[in-house]
Amino acid sequence: MDVQITPRRLSGVVTPPPSKSLAHRWILAAALAAGTSVVKNVAFSEDIEATLRCMEALGASWEAAEDGLRVAGIGGERRPFGDLPQFDCGESGSTLRFLIPIVLTVDQGGVFTGRGRLMERPQQPYFDLFDRRGISYALEGGALTVRGSLSPGEYRLRGDVSSQFFTGLLMALPLLEGPSVVVSTTKLESASYTSMTMGVLARCGVHVRWSPALNGFGVEPGVYGPFEETVEADWSQAAFWYAAISLGSNLRLRGLKGQSAQGDAAVVGHYQKLALTGEVKINLSDCPDLLPPLAVMAAVRRGTTRFTHAARLRLKESDRLATVARMLKALGGAVSEEEDGLTVYGVSTLPGGVVDGANDHRIVMAAAIAATRCQGPVVIRGAEAVKKSYPNFWRDYENLGGAVHVL
């Protein structure tokens, strides 16, 4: 789907969708719990639908409940060995990386498939662990097959590729009969996401502790208890509406939790920095998903903005450093691309133009917000990509006064 946006400022009140990061964790925790759990305020984005499919393949079941889901978990029990289950992860990196170690505790392995760039995204931290532990794996024809079982012990892996590997292990290892340790052999980036995971585990009665001395986590064996929780609003999606405010729209956001475990709540501080003039430097190591909306804020500010420590963005749904740069240039912005970041040179106006959405939900949303400040029309190719994380984005955009025409 291609859309044309006629530039105009937005106005009104908007509630960002539920946190996708938290919803993945709550749903999988419910699937592993011994009993029935209720997860409220869930948005059925494509990524969440992928996790629900995979939860069913794991042996759990769910049904729609008032404002959410009712999930019957498997209790973390090992299932009889048989044919390896199939897990269609769509384009969800969280679904894939969280599930790989989980299936090695309850299913002796599985076959994982995906779409887009998903199966090209790095899994080497897991592969290195598997080599040391005698777990077989093969990535062939766009499918990853893993066979074997995890056992209690020490797990050492790099922490500068993705925190998702740590979350997968932290969710899986409590299901084993003995304690384990998960050690980061580098600085652990996006550490706020592992803090989020620990909060979910604690709510389920599973004990994981962070040890600065180890630069890692101690994991105790335990049983996931059933729970009832409401997914809080998503700060990574709220960041796009903050960008609209930065560009002159009159918006009020509601439903956000101030003291949130979501690392992307850092958008508030970055928004305030970008409201100043002069040079600003922003380290994205703990909140890389904020680059697209922050780059839009930077595009028309008075001064230069340097975004650093963002090399991991090259391995997202698109090479997000390259696609953010191309998006801004297509609209008339000034930006230079570096190996691990971007430098955005503020301009007074954005003429508008045609943007390739690159099958990346965050590029599409960033371009739509940038359009509110453009002088001429903005065409966005592949605008349906928002379904991956924010299926109601275009509805909310139009309700706030945005002028969107489907081509």
Is residue 224 included in any domain, yes or no?
no
227 within a domain of the structure (yes/no):
no
Q: Is residue 225 part of a domain?
A: no
Lowest mean pLDDT across 62-66, 75-79, 90-94: 75-79
Residues whose CB is less than 8 angstroms from the CB of residue 31 and which lie 6 or more positions away in sequence, other chains included: 55, 58, 60, 71, 73, 74
* CATH, residue 200: 3.65.10.10
Residue 268, both tokens: 């508030």
Q: What is the pLDDT of residue 78?
A: 66
**Do residues 368 and 395 share a domain?**
yes
Helix and strand numbers, DSSP H then E, in the chain: 12, 22
Does residue 327 sit in the same domain as residue 351? Answer: yes
The length of the chain is 407
Other Cβ atoms closer than 10 A to 272: 11
- 194 shares its domain with 46: yes
The verdict on 52 and 142 lying in the same domain is yes
Domain identity same for 308 and 319:
yes
Q: What is the pLDDT at residue 80?
A: 62
Sequence-distant contacts of 393-401: CB under 8 A, at least 24 apart: 393/365, 393/368, 394/3, 396/14, 397/10, 397/368, 399/12, 399/14, 400/10, 400/11, 400/12, 400/14, 400/249, 400/251, 401/8, 401/9, 401/10, 401/11, 401/12
Q: Are residues 193 and 290 in the same domain?
A: no
| pLDDT attached to residue 82 | 67
Say if residue 209 is in the same domain as residue 304: no
Is residue 226 assigned to a domain?
no
- Give the pLDDT confidence score for residue 258 in this predicted structure: 85
Kindly state the average pLDDT of the residues 105-115: 92
**Mean pLDDT in residue range 100-116:** 93
Domain boundary residue, one of 187, 218, 249? 218
* Selection from 6, 22, 14, 3 nearest residue 265 by Cα: 22
Res 7 pLDDT > 90? yes
Number of domains in the chain: 2
Instruction: Provide the percentage of residues in the chain whose pLDDT is more than 90.
Output: 89
* Position 211 in a domain: yes
Domain boundary among 183, 218, 253: 218
Q: What is the mean pLDDT of residues 169-178?
A: 96
DSSP single-letter state for residue 136: E
Q: CA angle 340-352-362, nearest 5°?
A: 45
Report residue 153: phi and psi, to 5°.
155, -155
Tokens 């508008």: give the residue.
352
User: Is beta strand 334-337 parallel, antiparallel or unpaired with respect to 342-345?
Assistant: antiparallel
Angle at 140 between CA 138 and CA 143, to 5 degrees: 90
Range of the domain at 269: 3-17+233-406
Q: Is 374 found in the same domain as 335?
A: yes
Same domain, 241 and 214: no
Q: Tokens standing for 323? A: 């696609």
Give the active site residues: 289
pLDDT tens sequence across 264-296: 999 999 999 999 999 999 999 989 999 999 999
Whether residue 243 contacts residue 296, with contact meaning beta carbons closer than 8 Å, is answered with yes
**Is residue 106 located within the same domain as residue 152?**
yes
pLDDT digits (tens, 9 = 90+) for 324-337: 999 999 999 999 99
